[in-house]
Amino acid sequence: MIVKKLREKRNWSQEQLAIMAGLSTRTIQRIESGNKASIESLKSLASVFEIDISKLKEEIIVIDKSSESWKSESFLVKFFFWGVKARKQVLTMEFLCLALGILTWIVKPDIFATPAFFLLAYIFATMKYYIDRKKHW
């Protein structure tokens, strides 16, 4: 994840980063493995890396496409998430498709468009759930 990349860019060990940020080494390991971080931990890390905390918050939920687990995913999953960087993009598409499905259903039901929008919303939700479960964010 971003914390690991920033740490490695500076050639710091996890222990060194933990000391500078005032966190435990275990906390650094958890954050680097993609687990959620507290706001206090993010503030400490942002201070050490001299970056804005919003950058860390944003990047924590970004797909790490350089990880080994991502590289072992099927072609279909990689194709579906081509160009997708953040979970927010998938969530936006899911809600957009759902809204368009409801809109076409209410305004002028279409035998093709309405079910297609609902199907796309379902696909986005399912793929988001799959990536959440695999902890690729």
Quick: pLDDT tens for 20-61. 999 999 999 888 876 777 788 888 999 999 988 887 776 655
Q: What mean pLDDT comes out for the span 52-75?
A: 73
pLDDT of residue 108: 86
pLDDT of residue 60: 57
Kindly indicate the confidence band of residue 62, based on its pLDDT and cuts at 50, 70 and 90.
Answer: low
Of 71, 75, 52, 70, nearest in space to 137 by CA: 70
Kindly indicate the confidence band of residue 85, based on its pLDDT and cuts at 50, 70 and 90.
Answer: confident
Whether pTM exceeds 0.75: no
More confident residue, 109 or 47: 47
Average pLDDT of every residue of the chain: 85
The alpha carbon torsion through 52, 56, 62, 63 (nearest 10 deg) reads: 120
pLDDT of residue 1: 63
Q: What mean pLDDT comes out for the span 104-116?
A: 91
